[in-house]
């Protein structure tokens, strides 16, 4: 029974680690370890991005007019700087072609800001808007159309809370005036479209809000903590949050809601995302498409109704481009916080993050907030853990008798089993008594694992001394070494298996699994280390009381 208990624990641990790793890779957009590896997508090019067709070219909607003639004209770049952004617009379509997040350092070079949107030979990630129509022979401005920058500031000055940057088409018929409104301290950019009908006849335009990105997913390694899911997402009240794999778009197998009177589209990656938001309820269509070599789009298309001659229609939208700060996203739009994906354990992970956030607001340090959260979890499960540790302590106390009996009856397996059960009955020991408490707690600690890996708040968050970024590995491997030492100490406190092979494995397996922690984020190692130390303290006290320390 002792062997069965220990074997069960190891099987649960091994299977949990394997499934956790596999599900995390699938969450990241990586293939499952149980599925064949897909072919690597082709490299992107700047030329591919410059010729992206409008959403109207897919399905039954007509091709936007005027695109071919506009492409020949030269465009220019216009750079805007605020307290949070350095944004670069291309006057062709007034596309947002580069966006740097000034408060978030780059992973490659901490001295440089993180680049979210980009249009280069290495990356493609753009925000585009424009007009299409189903009316034959009607020309409307779209993201291929050359727009003229409107006069105004390009830098948010001290004491200034709002900065508006405008662009205007030169069309003689239907004119589009596009304005981006930046507000101090906000990652949400207001995007105003004014459609001015000077054509002499009514027009029925549709506005598309589009995100374009290359399909290159950040690589994940067996030992490095991987990045989050990368790809498009669609949300509606009916279908809720739907992630869409680039590979499914490539194969024309993308499944998502096609139309609704609410919802948003987003492009998601680890810690950050962009999303087109339309606050008011109105009919809209959702589209995904492969629009070039390793280039994909997700778009929301909104009918604007009929605009009479000499009339102007104004439409307000929002573009969010920033970190996945759960509380702020939840306040912006229904379901937007779901871009921070906790996987299967969301029902547990969300309350854990709420508690972690409250602890941080009291303590002021994310590292100590992690320690405090583990302490609270240990208190919550104290009696459950005590039951498990008492069972282990009793097993350790009778272990010499079990080993002597096994040696004495090694040639009589049936009698050995009967004698072992007699000893368990006499000593009132349940050999499986330590399993249930561990199984009950496992979902909570796996959920906390997802919280720590998914929370952008951990990025560049210091703890003490040498730990300056809880989302990065310990540069001096001090925490992983302490983690390994605590695991071995915990192993020593447990009863030694009677079987010599199992006894050796009992010491080897913790060492093998400790290798993972040398490459995991420091915040995650801190969480496991704290859990181990508290577990050791509780187990030592119980062993002492029962006289087996």
pLDDT in tens, 242-266: 999 999 999 999 999 999 999 999 9
Rounded to whole angstroms, the Cα distance separating 284 from 320 reads: 18
Rounded to whole angstroms, the Cα distance separating 141 from 132 reads: 8
CA distance readout (Å), 121 to 21, 44, 49, 50, 118: 32, 7, 10, 12, 9
Could you tell me what percentage of the chain is helix, strand and coil, using 3-state DSSP and rounding each to the nearest 5? 40, 25, 35
Rounded to whole angstroms, the Cα distance separating 362 from 259 reads: 44
Q: Where are the domains of the chain?
A: 46-216+226-341, 353-545
Rounded to whole angstroms, the Cα distance separating 101 from 269 reads: 14
pLDDT digit string, tens, across residues 277-302: 998 899 999 999 999 999 999 999 99
pLDDT digit string, tens, across residues 57-81: 333 333 333 333 344 468 899 999 9
pLDDT at 23 over 90: no
Fold of 46-216+226-341: Beta-galactosidase; Chain A, domain 5 (2.70.98)
| Lowest pLDDT segment from 22-31, 448-457, 499-508 | 22-31
Following CA atoms 392, 398, 404, 408 in sequence, which dihedral angle do they give, to the nearest 10 degrees?
A: -100
pLDDT digit string, tens, across residues 145-167: 999 999 999 999 999 999 999 99
pTM, 2 dp: 0.80
- As a whole number, the mean pLDDT across the chain is 82
Question: pLDDT at position 60, please?
Answer: 35
pLDDT at 319 over 90: yes
Q: Mean pLDDT across the stretch 425-432? A: 69
Rounded to whole angstroms, the Cα distance separating 514 from 528 reads: 11
Q: How confident is the model at residue 39 (pLDDT cuts 50, 70, 90)?
A: very low
Q: Do β-strands 147-149 and 162-169 pair in parallel, antiparallel, or remain unpaired?
A: antiparallel
Q: How confident is the model at residue 200 (pLDDT cuts 50, 70, 90)?
A: confident
Question: pLDDT at position 427, please?
Answer: 72
Question: pLDDT at position 536, please?
Answer: 87
């Amino acid at each position: 029974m002792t062997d069965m208990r220990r074997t069960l624990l190891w099987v649960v641990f091994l299977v949990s680690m394997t499934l956790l790793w596999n599900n995390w890779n699938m969450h990241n957009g990586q293939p499952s370890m149980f599925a064949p590896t897909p072919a690597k997508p082709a490299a992107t090019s700047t030329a591919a991005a410059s010729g992206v067709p409008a959403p109207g070219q897919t399905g039954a909607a007509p091709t936007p007019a005027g695109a071919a003639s506009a492409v020949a004209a030269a465009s220019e770049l216009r750079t805007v700087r605020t307290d949070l952004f350095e944004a670069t617009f291309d006057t062709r379509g007034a596309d947002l072609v580069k966006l740097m997040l000034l408060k978030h350092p780059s992973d490659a070079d901490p001295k440089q800001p993180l680049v979210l949107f980009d249009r280069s030979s290495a990356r493609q990630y753009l925000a585009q808007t424009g007009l299409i129509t189903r009316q034959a022979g009607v020309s409307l401005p779209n993201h291929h159309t050359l727009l003229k920058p409107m006069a105004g500031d390009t830098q948010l000055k001290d004491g200034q809370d709002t900065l508006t940057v405008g662009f205007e088409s030169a069309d003689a018929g239907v004119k589009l005036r596009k304005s981006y409104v930046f507000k101090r301290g906000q990652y949400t950019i207001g995007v105003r479209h004014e459609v001015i009908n000077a054509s002499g006849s009514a027009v029925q335009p549709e506005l598309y809000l589009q995100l374009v990105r290359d399909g290159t997913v950040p690589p994940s390694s067996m030992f490095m903590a991987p990045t989050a899911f990368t790809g498009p997402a669609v949300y509606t009240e009916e279908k809720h949050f739907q992630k869409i794999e680039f590979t499914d778009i490539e194969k024309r197998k993308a499944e998502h809601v096609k139309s609704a009177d609410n919802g948003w589209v987003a492009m998601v990656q680890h810690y950050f995302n962009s999303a087109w938001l339309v606050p008011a309820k109105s009919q809209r269509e959702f589209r995904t498409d492969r629009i070039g070599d390793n280039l994909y789009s997700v778009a929301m298309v909104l009918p604007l109704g009929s605009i009479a001659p000499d009339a102007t229609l104004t439409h307000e939208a929002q573009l969010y481009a920033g970190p996945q700060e759960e509380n702020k996203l939840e306040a912006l739009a229904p379901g937007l916080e779901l871009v921070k994906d906790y996987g299967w354990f969301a029902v547990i992970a969300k309350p854990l993050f709420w508690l972690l956030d409250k602890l941080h607001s009291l303590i002021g340090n994310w590292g100590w907030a992690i320690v405090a959260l583990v302490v609270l979890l240990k208190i919550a499960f104290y009696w459950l853990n005590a039951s498990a540790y008492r069972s282990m302590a009793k097993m350790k106390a009778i272990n010499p008798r079990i080993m002597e009996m096994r040696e004495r009856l090694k040639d009589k397996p049936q009698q050995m089993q009967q004698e072992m059960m007699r000893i368990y009955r006499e000593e009132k020991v349940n050999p499986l008594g330590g399993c249930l408490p561990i199984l009950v707690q496992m979902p909570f600690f796996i959920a906390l694992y997802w919280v720590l890996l998914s929370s952008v708040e951990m990025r560049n968050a210091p703890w003490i001394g040498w730990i300056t970024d809880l989302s990065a590995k310990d540069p001096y491997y001090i925490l992983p070494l302490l983690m390994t030492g605590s695991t071995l100490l915990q192993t020593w406190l447990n009863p030694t298996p009677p079987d010599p092979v199992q006894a050796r494995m009992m010491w080897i397996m913790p060492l093998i699994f400790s290798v993972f922690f040398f490459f995991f984020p420091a915040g995650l190692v801190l969480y496991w280390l704290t859990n181990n130390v508290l577990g050791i303290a509780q187990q030592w006290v119980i062993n002492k009381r029962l006289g087996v320390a």
